[in-house]
Amino acid sequence: MTPAVDVSSGTVWRTCPIRSSPSAGARSWLTQRDLLRGEGISHPEARTRFLVARALLRRTIAEARPDLGWKVLDIRTARSGRPTVVDIDPLLDPFLAPNLDPELEDHLGLYLAVSHTRGLAAVAVSTVGPVGIDVEPLGRDGLPPAEIWLTPDEQEEHASLLPSRRRAQLLRLWVAKEAALKANDAAQALPRRELSIRRSGEVDRVPISEDDPEAWVIAEVVWHEIEARFLVALAASVTGR
Amino acid sequence: MNANDPRELLIEVLSGIAPETDPATVDPTEDLRDELDLDSMDELNMITRVSGRLGIDIPEKDYPLMRTLDGAVDYLTGRMAAPAP
């Protein structure tokens, strides 16, 4: 597991290699509910990735908020698609437990993000505001056609690059947009081709017409390479704070 | 293959995106990402290819409607019957 890195005060992210099955160490962080949810995933590799990422998420939550009992927290998916933490212990919260609300976005003041791919899981936990994370193998092929998800300016820049640099640049933009989408509700409502990634890591919303001239920064992204095999983007929402 | 049958088209497209799986045997009510081990890039590739084959534009806000095989079939059937203006 990579060491925790603070990208901003209150945010921790970690990555963990994924092998053929969760290690005993990873399993020690899983609850019975996690295991039951894993059993519901039919594809074996997808199940392993889910379980490893879930264990990593629980471990990172315990690190970010050691005052919370990680075993009595359930992790659900809210309507936005974000993972959300819910306190399920009726002894701790007798009024909440019978009325679990998976739409709660920031229960207990924790913001979570998860991504996994073949070989690596990545999670981010923040006590500050919405975060997003995305990971892809550096050698990944098969990116969707550029005109589907790049802004016109990004398409122009992409076309001007040497062919040998295009795939790396596309992957960098892809993980940044995925992380920004996860970090920001405003971004989630936008097509990827309306999210502009600056070299500095700022993520802008692109105006779509003359009647709609406003652009604004909605997130900030940082990139990291892991073991020269994976590219991780970590986004922190700007407008969501 | 019947080119106008969204289910057959989806299975064909998914077979190309996840060749190690058999999309025809998935539970059509379950999330394709879990059933076929797809990620967001696979999902966008699936939608792009289906959109191109059927000649319909699929806005990103509608992507969540295509997370299951049945959901995708229903969505595409509706769009083919009544294309968006």
Of B33, B39, B59, the CB nearest to A117: B39
**Confidence class of residue A222 from pLDDT cuts 50, 70 and 90?**
very high
Q: What is the pLDDT at residue B67?
A: 92
Which residues form the domain of B11? Answer: 6-81
- What are the residues of chain A with a beta carbon less than 8 Å away from any beta carbon of chain B? 40-43, 45-46, 50, 81, 117, 136, 140, 142-145, 148-149, 174, 178, 189-192
Strand A195-197, strand A111-117: pairing:
unpaired
Topology (CATH level 3) of domain A135-237: Ribosomal Protein L22; Chain A (3.90.470)
Q: Total structural domains in chain B?
A: 1
Residue A65 and residue A53: Cα distance in Å, rounded?
A: 18
Q: In angstroms, rounded to a whole number, what is the distance separating the alpha carbons of residues A22 and A104?
A: 29
Q: Is A135-237 the same fold as A5-128?
A: yes
To the nearest 10 degrees (0 to 180), the angle between helices B40-54 and B69-81 is 30
d(CA B45, CA A164): 22
Q: Is the pLDDT reported for residue A96 higher than 60?
A: no
Instruction: List chain A domain ranges.
Output: 5-128, 135-237
Topology of the domain covering A5-128: Ribosomal Protein L22; Chain A (3.90.470)
pLDDT 10s digits, A32-87 = 889 998 998 888 888 999 999 999 999 999 888 888 877 777 888 776 677 888 76
Please provide residue A70's backbone torsions phi and psi, each rounded to the nearest 5 degrees.
Answer: -65, -25
| Cβ contact A144–B48 (<8 Å) | yes
Largest Cα separation within chain A, whole Å, is 61
Q: Which positions in chain A touch B40 (Cβ < 8 Å)?
A: 178
pLDDT of residue A239: 65
Determine contact, residues A82/A181, Cβ cutoff 8 Å: no
**For residue range A167-208, what is the model confidence (pLDDT) as tens digits?**
999 999 999 999 998 888 766 678 898 899 998 888 888 876
What burial letters (b/e) apply to A188-200, b meaning 16+ CB within 10 Å? Answer: bebebbbbbbeee
> What mean pLDDT is predicted for residues A203-221?
78
| Residue of B20, B26, B40, B51 to mutate, testing the A interface (most A Cβ within 10 Å of its Cβ) | B40
Count Cα neighbours of A240 within 13 Å in the Cβ-side half-sphere.
25
Q: Which of A90-104, B11-25, B64-78 has the lowest mean pLDDT?
A: A90-104
| Angle between helices A32-39 and A44-64 in degrees, nearest 10 | 160
Q: Which of B37, B44, B60 sits opposite A43 (nearest CB)?
A: B37
| Average pLDDT along chain A | 83
pLDDT above 90 for A20: no
Q: What is the CATH number of the domain that holds B42?
A: 1.10.1200.10
Residue A208 region by backbone torsions, left for phi larger than 0, else alpha for psi between -120 and 50, else beta: alpha
